[in-house]
């Protein structure tokens, strides 16, 4: 089952919230328009008004810049909030269906699957799916669209500088792709370790009297600590990967600014 198929299945659980989806889809093009027109307004302010000393025209275009910024923020907020509502309602429906499915499972199923493991899948894992949808997938869509629109705007303003910036895209894309694959493996291992830890905890709490009868508290604590350390290990690996990811993006941004300044200075010197 592919990721796209899973995503479409998730959308099926959010069909009842189509009104919020409509609000988000209406806000998205307005947000994209504000993001696309903002660089053009800044260039126009510098070239046509600041260079010419036209204060009246400068005040007018600054007003347009202010409206574009505020409009972009409001539409981004409306888009994000609407799809967070959709994700929250969809996850609620998913949890109800999963709970109903668990109740219909035969009793023999629970002989081989600890209740704590199922509890982790029904709670923390579904929360992770909600976060991935509302803060991951749905925020990626406008970011990608904005990137392409801004790229087209930059080509119209100066194709030379734009091409110079795109030189760093292939190696960065390859590096991020490899890092994404590694992070996915780490996240899966972390969820699995957390599920095993919760399953062990649930079994210990259910059998607390047996543990006390055999004075096995020290042994149980040591076993639980080992499972927690396993989860901590994968969480540290995830933190390292996230740190590398964000620092790479920040570094690429600085490199891109440096390339623009160097290329622009070269064109100015060469006339």
The Cβ-side half-sphere exposure at 262, using a 13 Å CA radius, reads 8
Q: What is the pLDDT of residue 135?
A: 66
Low-confidence ranges of the chain (pLDDT < 50): none
Q: How far is CA 187 from CA 4, 125, 179, 195, 198, in A?
A: 19, 11, 12, 12, 17
Q: What is the pLDDT of residue 70?
A: 93
Q: What is the pLDDT of residue 258?
A: 83
- Residues 156, 43: contact at Cβ < 8 Å? no
Angle subtended by helix axes 55-104 and 3-12, to nearest 10: 90
Q: What is the pLDDT of residue 134?
A: 66
Looking at 123-216, list the stretches that DSSP marks H as alpha helix, in order from N- to C-terminal side: 124-131, 138-157, 159-166, 169-206, 208-213
Q: What is the pLDDT of residue 143?
A: 77
Q: What is the pLDDT of residue 53?
A: 77
| Distance, CA of 33 to CA of 142 (rounded, Å) | 11
Q: What is the pLDDT of residue 158?
A: 78
| Distance, CA of 146 to CA of 78 (rounded, Å) | 16
């Amino acid at each position: 089952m592919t990721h796209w198929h899973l995503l479409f299945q998730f959308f099926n659980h959010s069909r009842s919230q189509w009104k919020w989806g409509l609000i988000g889809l209406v806000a998205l093009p307005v947000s994209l328009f504000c993001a696309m027109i903002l660089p053009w307004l800044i260039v126009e302010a510098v070239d046509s008004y600041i260079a010419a000393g036209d204060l009246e025209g400068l005040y007018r275009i600054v007003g347009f810049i202010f409206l574009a910024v505020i409009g972009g923020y409001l539409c981004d907020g409306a888009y994000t909030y609407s799809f967070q509502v959709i994700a929250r309602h969809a996850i609620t429906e998913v949890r109800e269906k999963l709970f109903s499915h668990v109740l219909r499972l035969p009793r023999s199923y629970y002989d081989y699957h600890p209740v704590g493991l199922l509890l982790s899948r029904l709670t923390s894992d579904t929360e992770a799916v909600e976060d991935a949808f509302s803060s991951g997938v749905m925020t990626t869509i406008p970011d990608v669209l904005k990137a392409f629109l801004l790229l087209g705007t930059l080509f119209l303003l100066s194709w030379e500088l734009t091409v110079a910036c795109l030189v760093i895209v292939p190696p960065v894309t390859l590096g991020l792709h490899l890092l994404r694959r590694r992070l996915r493996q780490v996240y899966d291992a972390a969820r699995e370790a957390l599920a095993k830890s919760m399953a062990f905890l649930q079994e210990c709490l259910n059998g607390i009297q047996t543990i006390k009868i055999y004075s096995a508290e020290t042994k149980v604590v040591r076993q639980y600590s080992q499972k927690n350390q396993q989860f901590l290990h994968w969480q540290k690996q995830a933190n390292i990967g996230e740190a590398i990811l964000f620092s790479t993006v920040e570094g690429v941004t600085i490199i891109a600014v440096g390339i623009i300044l160097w290329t622009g200075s070269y064109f100015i010197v060469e006339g």
